[in-house]
Amino acid sequence: MRVLGIDPGLTRCGVGVVDVRPDRRATLVEVTVIRTPADMPLEKRLLAVGAGIDALLDEHRPEVVAIERVFAQHNLRTVMGVAQVSGVALHSAARRGLPVALHTPSEVKAAITGYGSADKRQVQAMVARILGLAEAPKPADAADALAIAICHAWRGSPMADTPRGPGSEPASAQTPAQAAWRAAERSARASAVPRRLAR
């Protein structure tokens, strides 16, 4: 399955394309960030973002488009920009007859790390591991777009119905990347204890 993921934003709109096999192994196809300057008129910013999304859709021909669902924030201006870009992306997908899926940030975090309250650093590290990259794509919007795409591709797998929480997944439900992350976390916690006691 080829999925194009979008982390909507006016100043930076992350777009990531991944191919995911039935065994859930994911491969990076492309990742980029579409940028628009804050001093550009709103309608031109939306046009520029739309043109960028259109170009990527036409070049990579995904089977589905996954977008981060607009999430309530205290900053109304930010929410409006995210909602407007989401609308542009929805329009671009609909014109091509592509199905669209919306995923909340917590859904994406749970799918990628196994924990719905994971921080951005954890999500970025897991995206790099899942895709076999030496480091996470930057800026964070790029890694987030890939996480959204992977989340959608993994949706409906046995792990999707597993209760989420730190260390809650049975070993058989974890991907190799998630198992590696759990092992790294356990190692970090174990090595931190002696240092605190030594003080």
Q: How far apart are CA 10 and CA 46, in angstroms?
A: 7
Which of 107, 141, 144, 169 is catalytic? The answer is 141
Is the peptide bond between 139 and the residue preceding it cis, with omega within 30 degrees of 0? yes
Which of 7, 107, 144, 169 is catalytic? The answer is 7
Q: How far apart are CA 47 and CA 24, in angstroms?
A: 35
Q: How far apart are CA 196 and CA 104, in angstroms?
A: 37
Q: How far apart are CA 33 and CA 165, in angstroms?
A: 31
Instruction: Confirm whether 58 is a catalytic residue.
Output: no
Instruction: Confirm whether 135 is a catalytic residue.
Output: no
Q: Phi and psi at residue 66, in whole multiples of 5°?
A: -115, 130
Which of 39, 63, 68, 144 is catalytic? The answer is 68
Instruction: Confirm whether 7 is a catalytic residue.
Output: yes
Catalytic residues: 7, 68, 141
